[in-house]
């Protein structure tokens, strides 16, 4: 007679097999409808190239490219096309920081100079929690010259010189104001807490664990296989190459390159707790509050309000990314372990792209095809 433990193991294996079979069935049933939806969207909105990953019940069910990664050379976009992912970088950086928190190497509420002495002290202390939730008071870009950076920075320490000596815009913790510069300081904190460079920490803590082999920090001088060209649409509707921008001035906030396949693996790794435990991820998806206990639209590395909130009765979370030559979205429905990653080589500011709405439509298509085991 089989023991209880043996019986339990058999049941677990059978359940896993059923779930994997259901996932495969979902993928095969959903893929044609999702492909038709995205193909029409790319055509209707004149998107040069776009790559997508769809995750359902924690499994990647589709990775696909549409259109052209390089219009001049007629190179097709694929699931492995490498794009600048812009501010989606913040969610990945935040995950690395929270992994250090979970390992006991980083105290969210200690002054940031504990880990980043290169950032000067201000009239009020700043914590890593405030960096993660955009409540630090550190300023964002002042003008177009700062957003269209052409100077190459060789380190996080050098990137800090852009703003480190400027006064804070408000007392930390009193309100939320989005700032990519705050995430550069977070990169410095990660270096101090981990004892390694930001680049090396990201590879060791995130990219390798989540099976993201093509993901790396952007480098305008490097030869990066499958790199997409960036485009913009003029007021007259003409497609043009985007402005040259060197994003080495802001790697932790907007300077990571990745593919749809890698980003799909990142989402799957988040949901499977391979990067941080579920309890930690839940904290990241919880709206941060200001000192007077008012909730904001941002958690720890993810938006949880504003243009998103709830859809079909489910909590939404995620991040958008807009930069010269690219636009992207990381859209999540954590309760369903559903996600969509959309990476494109078209500037969103000069188009009518709404990747959140497209992600919701992809969810509707996936839900209509789902067959429960």
Number of domains in the chain: 1
Could you tell me if residue 247 is inside a domain? yes
pLDDT surpassing 50 at residue 24: no
Residues in contact with 58: Cβ distance below 8 Å, sequence separation at least 6, in sequence order? 268, 271, 272, 337
- Read off the pLDDT of residues 201-215 as tens digits, 9 standing for 90 and up: 999 999 999 999 999
pLDDT at 16 over 60: no
- Quick check: is 171 in a domain? yes
- Who contacts 107 (Cβ-Cβ below 8 Å, separation ≥6)? 101, 114, 128
The CATH number of the domain where 109 resides is what?
3.40.710.10
- Residue 41 in any domain: the answer is yes
In a domain, residue 215? The reply is: yes
The domain containing residue 43 runs over which residues? 30-369
Task: Quote the strand ranges of the chain, DSSP E.
Answer: 49-56, 59-70, 75-76, 83-84, 216-217, 231-233, 239-241, 256-258, 310-311, 314-315, 317-323, 326-333, 338-344
Taking residues 60-69, report their average pLDDT: 97
pLDDT at 21 over 60: no
Ordered strands of the 83-84 beta sheet? 83-84, 256-258, 216-217
5 found inside a domain: no
**Residue 19 within any structural domain of the chain:** no
pLDDT of residue 369: 61
Inside any domain, residue 271: yes
Q: pLDDT tens digits, residue range 251-294?
A: 999 999 999 999 999 999 999 999 999 999 999 999 999 999 99
Structural domain contains residue 105: yes
Mean pLDDT of the chain: 91
């Amino acid at each position: 007679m089989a023991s209880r433990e043996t019986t339990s193991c058999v049941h677990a294996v059978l359940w896993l097999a059923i779930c994997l079979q259901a996932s495969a069935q979902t993928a095969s049933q959903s893929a044609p409808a999702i492909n038709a939806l995205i193909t029409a969207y790319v055509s209707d909105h004149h998107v040069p190239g776009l790559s997508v990953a769809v995750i359902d019940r924690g499994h990647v069910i589709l990775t696909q490219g549409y259109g052209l990664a390089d219009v001049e050379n007629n190179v097709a976009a694929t699931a492995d096309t490498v794009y600048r992912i812009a501010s989606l970088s913040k969610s990945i950086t935040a995950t690395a920081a929270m992994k250090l928190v979970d390992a006991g190497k980083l105290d969210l509420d200690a002054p940031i100079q504990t880990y980043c002495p290169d950032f000067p002290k201000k009239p009020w202390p700043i914590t890593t929690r405030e960096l993660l939730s955009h409540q630090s008071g550190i300023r964002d870009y002042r003008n177009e010259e700062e957003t269209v950076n052409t100077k190459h920075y060789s380190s996080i320490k050098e990137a800090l010189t852009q703003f480190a000596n400027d006064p804070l815009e408000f007392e930390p913790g009193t309100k939320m104001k989005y700032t990519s510069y705050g995430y550069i300081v977070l990169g410095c904190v990660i270096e101090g807490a981990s004892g390694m460079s930001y680049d090396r920490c990201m590879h060791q803590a995130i990219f390798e664990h989540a099976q993201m082999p093509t993901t790396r920090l952007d480098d305008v001088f490097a030869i990066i296989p499958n790199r997409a060209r960036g485009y913009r649409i003029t007021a007259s509707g003409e497609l043009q190459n985007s402005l040259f921008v060197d994003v080495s001035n802001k790697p932790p906030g907007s300077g990571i390159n990745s593919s749809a396949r890698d980003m799909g693996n990142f989402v799957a790794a988040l949901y499977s707790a391979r990067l941080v435990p579920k309890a930690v991820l839940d904290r990241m998806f919880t709206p941060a509050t200001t000192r007077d206990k008012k909730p904001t639209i941002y958690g720890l590395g993810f938006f949880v309000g504003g243009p998103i909130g709830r859809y079909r009765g489910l909590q939404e979370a995620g991040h958008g990314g807009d930069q010269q030559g690219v636009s992207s979205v990381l859209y999540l429905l954590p309760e369903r372990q559903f996600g969509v990653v959309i990476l494109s080589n078209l500037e969103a500011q000069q188009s009518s792209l709404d990747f959140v709405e497209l992600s919701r439509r992809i969810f509707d298509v996936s839900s209509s095809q789902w067959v429960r085991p």
